[in-house]
A and B are shown apart, each in its own frame.
Chain A
Amino acid sequence: MTRSNSQADLELLRKRARALALSLEDEQLDAVVDTVVVLELGDHRVGVSLSALDEIAPLTPLAALPGLPTWLPGIAQVRGRIISVLDLHAWLKMTGRTSPRYLALVRCAAGTMGILIDAIGEVRSVRAKDLAESLATDRTRGVRATTKDLTPLLDIDVLLSHPDMQVDHGATWDSVMSNIEVHRGGAGDPCKTRS
């Protein structure tokens, strides 16, 4: 074999190697990272994992509680359950105005919260290649990644367990309830008088 031949062979081999390496990367980039529901907050959109989303409920009147931060506007009732409400727009310090009409109930191991949303967008599969690696995301505040079209994707577990989501002013349930003399059964029990 002449020297130039082996050189050409090497070159060919290198080309092939490169071609094969590229397609593997493509596969990885093409893999679906998550199926995500897009939620609309004013002019902004965020993505929430479909698996973390319990339901979308129409917004019922909110009750504000004293001493809560702006991103915790209060509590609401969804079919008899008392749900803690999260103003994501305030939490992520987004600009513009919103007109919330629904609550997106999202769940983590510790519990459920209702995110104020204007509307629900599409459900989409997010692939690795859709993510903008270079954009800085505040992981600790619950944004795990951002897509190339600038949709932040939320990590519900991190978001809901953030210490600023918890409010504890120190009283125990017992000490507070002791201030309310409760009727436990007895003549005042509505069920007993009715049945």
Chain B
Amino acid sequence: MQDPVLDQLLAIFRDEAHEGLDAFGQHIGGLALSSGPAFDDLIDQSMRIAHNLKGASATVGLDDMALLAHVCEDVLLAMRQKRLTTSLENACDALARSASVMANLVDSIPVDATATIERLSSLVIGGAGGGAKRAESDSIKDDDPDFLVIRPDVKVKAEPQSAVPPDVTRPPGVSDDATVKAEPRGAGPVAVRPQGIRVDADRLDELVRFVGELLAVQAELQERHTELEQGEQWLHSQAEDFDPLQREAMRQHLTRLDGQVRRNRDAMRRLSRLTSELSEAVRRMRMIPVSALAATFRRSVADAAQVTRRDAELQMLGGDVELDKQVLDRVVEPVLHLLRNAVDHGLEDAEERVRKGKPRRGRVLVAARPDGDLVELSVHDDGRGIDAQRLRDAAIARGTRTREQLDQMSQAELFNLMFETGFTTAPKVSQISGRGLGLDVVRRTVEDCGGRLDLRSPGRLGGTSFILLLPVNVLSVHAVTVRAASGTFAFPIEAVERTLRFERASVREAGRQSVLDVDGEPLRLCELAAGLGLRQPQSPARARRDGVAVVLRRGGRVLALEVDEVVSDQEYAIKRLPWNLRSVTGVAGVVALSDSSVAVALDANHLLRTAGASAQNDAGAQPVAKIRVLVADDALTARTLAKNTLVAAGYAVTAVVDGAKAWQALLDEDFALVVSDVRMPNIDGIELTRRVRGDERLRRLPVILVTTESTPQDIQRGLSAGADEYLVKGPMQQQKLLEAVARHV
């Protein structure tokens, strides 16, 4: 996978090239005016810059620039050796102009360098760039002194001013000799090209984003369809109440509607299956085998071996194991760092190894294997392992630990010292390591994508082993975490409208709901644990005068959730639930928190659906969530009238035709109030009232009798049976009914 490394190289190259070219320009400017040692010095510096630029531009594929830089070098050499065909001023002029051509080339501005190259060439007796080869692939020979070809099967040549890959520890902008030399583009053993096409990584990410949005819309469609089905069923139930003539007329319409709903349902099913498959296919597209990084890893080991003058080779195991591209991208740098460390710190010099009875060539192994829903990626070396005594000494020298503390530590804790910022046991700072900035950054980078880094010594090959546990997929979600009833929970930021403090005294009860008015909007308030159905002990926060709530709003629904405290608001790596918990209603995933606890990522939509309420309810006198009322009357008209009146007023109404059905309904379901006729077959209203009053669960249920029986005795009978109100049917009876109901819910 060259992209991330190449991109990084290009960026670093551009910075360094510009800096170099600036300096080059200055040196050249001073040349014409100087002489003696100062002159020589300027020439040396300019040559060094040209030399570096040559190598660097070859690496990133700017062949023209490499050649131009080479020719500049020759001209400078000729200047020193007095082999110019023209005056010093002319030569400096030409060099200065080449510098601007090079600057353009660096910025990918298309210029033709040929003329400049020819001009420069003509300045040197015998021509310049004679020995130069264009930095194109096949003409590079193994023994070319200027180019270092690093291939797995080729011995690497030693060269003093040589290449070190950009180090994660190196502060940006440091200009030392380091340039990156590696396989010039196109060189190398002929690889068998796998079937495939290159896709810009950003385009793939875009595709993934679209799929995500598609899934969201599909989920919403599904909800609308469910509402459609519910509406259809409601219509059917309404049709029951119509008289036969109306019912017949309705029947045709209903049948047509049935057909439409059914076809919609089928289409929804097909859509759901397709989006599922699409999502899976896109996810697979992002999976890349670890072997794609093999070349990069090899290069790193070879370079490090170069610099340290050691003999080392890289082996890879399990290259077929695949990881999400995002994870792989993030993990490349840390692994490269570990590889360089392995060569620099882990492996011994060839002589020492031979003395120890080890093979001369050191082994570095990168192994990948699946581990449940994780991938274990490890870096091993067969070197000297970790010297615990040196660790201890280094810690004491740095002053971070006392001897007593160190004596108490277990081996694992001792090894962990290596991950502290600035910790190093290296005797001196080398080009590769020793600055001590590496391992802590490595560990943090790995943990940031939801992974883990561990260390073992002696390791798999006898030296040191670094073990990375990585998630196969990483999803990072911007979430708000809250603590509620001894657990931590996370909500995606998109669902959270706001968090707020409220005074418990300002919460009002409407029916069985708690309502909190926020900016004039009545919101249903519910405890998070209760809303999830978790059995949790009462939190001490409940006793306080004020509380904390999170307002969720999504897709027309809104809910205020009371929590103990709001913890944080940041990006989290969200993981799937363990293998045996394939799906748990209301739970979207899990976040491993840094304090060894776990936050449960919640499905906000589910909470809103089950515990929330539609935000489109009228505010003011309306209850926020529908209160359930049972209406019992054997007369169709009376029943329909009562039902319609109550429904229009915002209640959820169930209508039944007699006392027996009413009693059954009361036993089966929960109602806030009963409105009943007195004269009904089976069980009449009086009997119904008596039963209600006699039942443990129902005895406090409000009962309103609405009837034509209006003698004082009737009224008395009703009230003695336990009715809360006795309404006589007459003028304004709808209004009176509403008022009575409002009095008792």
Bound-state CA distance A83–B371 (Å) is 13
Bound-state CA distance A121–B77 (Å) is 79
CB proximity of A178 to chain B, nearest CB, Å? 3
A185 touches B219 (CB 8 A): no
**Which of B533, B579, B580, B587 has the most CB atoms of chain A within a 10 A radius of its CB?**
B580
Which residues does chain B contribute within 8 Å of A110, judged by CB atoms?
579-580
Of A167, A172, A175, which one neighbours B584 at CB under 8 angstroms? A167
Which residues does chain B contribute within 8 Å of A174, judged by CB atoms?
215, 275-276, 279-280
A191 touches B449 (CB 8 A): yes
Which residues does chain A contribute within 8 Å of B570, judged by CB atoms?
190
Bound-state CA distance A140–B243 (Å) is 59
Of A64, A75, A165, A177, which one neighbours B534 at CB under 8 angstroms? A64
CB proximity of A181 to chain B, nearest CB, Å? 5
Bound-state CA distance A27–B284 (Å) is 56
Bound-state CA distance A63–B598 (Å) is 6
Query: Which of under 10, 10 to 19, 20 to 34, or 35 or more describes the interface residues of B?
Result: 35 or more
B598 touches A82 (CB 8 A): yes
Which residues does chain B contribute within 8 Å of A115, judged by CB atoms?
none
Q: Which residue of B lies closest to A113 (CB)?
A: B580
Of B218, B445, B592, which one neighbours A80 at CB under 8 angstroms? B592
Whether, in the assembled complex, B548 has its beta carbon less than 8 Å from a beta carbon of chain A, the answer is no
Interface residues of B in 561-618 (CB under 8 A from A): 570-571, 574-590, 592-593, 596-601, 603-606
A169 touches B600 (CB 8 A): no
B578 touches A195 (CB 8 A): no
Whether, in the assembled complex, B452 has its beta carbon less than 8 Å from a beta carbon of chain A, the answer is yes
User: A66-B534, A80-B451, A168-B582 given as contacts; is B215 within 8 A of A183 (CB)?
Assistant: no
Contact with B along A135-148 (1 / 0, CB 8 A): 00000000000000
Number of A-B residue pairs at CB separation under 8 A? 193
Of A81, A167, A172, A195, which one neighbours B580 at CB under 8 angstroms? A167
Q: Which residue of A lies closest to B475 (CB)?
A: A182
CB proximity of B487 to chain A, nearest CB, Å? 5
Bound-state CA distance A5–B93 (Å) is 131
CB proximity of B545 to chain A, nearest CB, Å? 28
**Which of A174, A177, A180 has the most CB atoms of chain B within a 10 A radius of its CB?**
A180
Which residues does chain A contribute within 8 Å of B344, judged by CB atoms?
none
CB proximity of B269 to chain A, nearest CB, Å? 13
Which residues does chain A contribute within 8 Å of B488, judged by CB atoms?
63
CB proximity of A128 to chain B, nearest CB, Å? 32
Of B209, B580, B589, B606, which one neighbours A111 at CB under 8 angstroms? B580
Bound-state CA distance A113–B580 (Å) is 9
B449 touches A167 (CB 8 A): no
CB proximity of A87 to chain B, nearest CB, Å? 14
**Which of B214, B585, B604 has the most CB atoms of chain A within a 10 A radius of its CB?**
B585
Which residues does chain B contribute within 8 Å of A190, judged by CB atoms?
448, 476, 570-571
Whether, in the assembled complex, A7 has its beta carbon less than 8 Å from a beta carbon of chain B, the answer is no
Whether, in the assembled complex, A49 has its beta carbon less than 8 Å from a beta carbon of chain B, the answer is no
CB proximity of B22 to chain A, nearest CB, Å? 26
B578 touches A82 (CB 8 A): yes
A180 touches B588 (CB 8 A): yes
Whether, in the assembled complex, B205 has its beta carbon less than 8 Å from a beta carbon of chain A, the answer is yes
Q: Which residue of B lies closest to A166 (CB)?
A: B580
A75 touches B579 (CB 8 A): no
CB proximity of A141 to chain B, nearest CB, Å? 15
Interface size on A, residues (CB 8 A): 52
CB proximity of A71 to chain B, nearest CB, Å? 12
Whether, in the assembled complex, B359 has its beta carbon less than 8 Å from a beta carbon of chain A, the answer is no
CB proximity of B275 to chain A, nearest CB, Å? 7
Whether, in the assembled complex, B318 has its beta carbon less than 8 Å from a beta carbon of chain A, the answer is no
B605 touches A67 (CB 8 A): no
Which residues does chain B contribute within 8 Å of A178, judged by CB atoms?
212, 214-216, 218-219, 275, 279
Of A61, A181, A185, which one neighbours B596 at CB under 8 angstroms? A61
Which residues does chain A contribute within 8 Å of B215, judged by CB atoms?
174-175, 177-178
B590 touches A63 (CB 8 A): yes
Contact with A along B186-226 (1 / 0, CB 8 A): 00000000000000000001001100111110110000000
Interface residues of A in 142-187 (CB under 8 A from B): 160, 165-186
Which residues does chain B contribute within 8 Å of A17, judged by CB atoms?
none
Which residues does chain B contribute within 8 Å of A113, judged by CB atoms?
578, 580
B580 touches A179 (CB 8 A): no
Given pairs A167-B581, A178-B212, 4 additional interface contacts (CB within 8 A): A66-B534, A66-B586, A112-B372, A181-B494
User: Can you list 14 contacts pairing A with B, beta carbon distance less than 8 Å?
Assistant: A60-B597, A60-B598, A62-B598, A63-B598, A66-B533, A67-B585, A79-B452, A81-B469, A165-B580, A174-B279, A176-B583, A178-B212, A184-B208, A190-B570
The chain B residues found within 8 Å of chain A, CB to CB, are 205, 208-209, 212-216, 218-219, 272, 275-276, 279-280, 326, 330, 333, 372, 374, 445, 447-452, 454, 469, 475-478, 487-488, 492, 494, 532-534, 536, 570-571, 574-590, 592-593, 596-601, 603-606
- Which are the 8 A-B pairs with shortest beta-carbon distances? A178-B215, A111-B579, A80-B452, A84-B578, A61-B597, A63-B598, A169-B585, A168-B582
